Chains A and B, each alone.
Chain A
Amino acid sequence: MTASKDIQQVALDWLLRVNDPLFDDWDGWQAWLDASPEHPKAYWTLAEQEAELVDTLGSISWPASGAAPTAAPTDPRAGGRTRAGRRWTLPALGGLAAALAFGLWLAVTVPGRHSIVESPDGQPMTLALADGSEIALAGGSRIVLDRRNPRFAKLEEGRALFTVVHDRHRPFEVRIGDMVVTDLGTVFDVTRLDQGVRVEVAEGLVRVARGADRVDLEPGEGVMVAPDGFHLRSTPPASVAGWRSSRLTYHDETLSVVVQDLARVQGRRIAVSPDVEDRRFTGSLSADGAVAQSPERLAQLLGAPVTVERDGWRVGAATGH
Chain B
Amino acid sequence: MGAGPDAEDVLQDVWLRTQAVKTPIAQPRAYLYRMVYTVVLDRRRQARRAATRDGAWIRDQDVDEPRATPTPERSLLAREALRAVETRLAILGEPAATILRRHRLGGETQKAIAADLGMGLSTVEKHLRRAYAALLDVSEDET
Contact = CB atoms under 8 A, between A and B. Distances in A.
Interface of A: 5, 8-9, 12, 15-16, 18-24, 26, 44, 46-54, 56-60, 62-63, 65-67, 70-71, 75, 77-78, 81, 83-102, 104, 106-111, 115, 126-130, 147, 150
Contacts of B109: 20-22
Interface string B104-122: 1111111100000000000
B19 A115 contact: yes
A62 B106 CA distance: 13
Contacts, number: 193
Contacts of A111: 24
A49 B10 CA distance: 21
Interface string B6-24: 1111111011101101011
Given A26-B30, A50-B132, A98-B3, A56 B82 contact: yes
Interface of B: 1-4, 6-12, 14-16, 18-19, 21, 23-25, 27-34, 36-37, 39-48, 50, 67-68, 81-82, 85-86, 89-90, 94, 97-98, 100-111, 125, 128-129, 132, 135-139, 141, 143
Contact of B43 (A56, A65, A90): A90
A107 B1 contact: no
A70 B24 contact: no
B100 A57 contact: yes
Nearest to B4: A98
B143 to A, nearest CB: 8
A60 B87 CA distance: 11
Contacts of A95: 1, 3, 40
A5 B133 CA distance: 12
A90 B9 contact: yes
B28 to A, nearest CB: 5
B36 A108 contact: no
A86 B46 contact: yes
A21 B68 contact: no
A50 B25 contact: no
**Interface of B (DSSP majority class):** helix
Contacts of A106: 32
A83 to B, nearest CB: 8
24 contacts: A8-B139, A16-B129, A20-B111, A21-B107, A23-B30, A46-B136, A54-B105, A57-B104, A60-B85, A65-B94, A83-B46, A84-B68, A94-B1, A98-B2, A102-B7, A108-B28, A109-B24, A110-B24, A115-B19, A126-B11, A127-B11, A128-B11, A128-B12, A130-B15
Contacts of B94: 65-66
Nearest to A115: B18
B27 to A, nearest CB: 8
B25 A130 contact: no
B45 A52 contact: yes
A6 to B, nearest CB: 9
A92 B47 contact: yes
Contact of B107 (A15, A77, A98, A128): A77
B16 A93 contact: no
A77 B28 contact: no
A52 B40 CA distance: 15
A24 B111 CA distance: 14
A108 B32 contact: yes
Given A20-B109, A77-B107, A104 B15 contact: no
Given A46-B136, A48-B48, A93-B43, A57 B15 contact: no
Given A5-B139, A21-B109, A75-B105, A53 B6 contact: no
Given A16-B132, A44-B41, A110-B24, 8 more contacts: A12-B129, A16-B128, A53-B136, A66-B94, A93-B3, A93-B44, A110-B21, A128-B15
